[in-house]
A = this chain, B = another copy of it.
């Protein structure tokens, strides 16, 4: 039995935060996770303390930022499933948001980790939109990621080097401009 220690004790969100921090440190890109949206109902401003609040459903994705002059925007999710990614993990308005990103000239995508088999995929928003359009399935098969996405290999630093895949899409965008 082979045991992977690569991501031991670290979830995808922490790894992406580390990655973004690294990108910022080496001055490669400016990408942040948005704070969790909450509604604050009781607050003590004197002590800077929130005494009651509620989690809100996010209207956009979790991450956005700037890379090589491009607006980038993505959502990251883990699943314990081995063969497909359940679409219920992505809110419908997050999908609407990614559609808008694509329409207005940004680069949108998903980062999906199948944690049981330790495979992480980049799926461009255009491929996500195509899948949903022609399909009523409630989950995206892993084969769809393999055929239409890109695997993001584990690295020591940065942990989840998604910009190496974004580079491919920037290449395509620039070819279209010519």
Contact = CB atoms under 8 A, between A and B. Distances in A.
A102 B17 CA distance: 22
B34 A69 contact: no
A104 B66 contact: yes
A35 B60 CA distance: 11
Q: How many copies does the complex hold?
A: 2
Contacts of A53: 38, 49-50, 53
5 contacts: A32-B60, A49-B53, A50-B54, A53-B53, A66-B101
Contacts of A54: 48-50
A141 interface: no
Contacts of A106: 30, 66, 69, 71
Contacts of A152: none
A51 B51 contact: yes
A66 B73 contact: yes
Interface in A59-100: 59-60, 64-71, 73, 97, 100
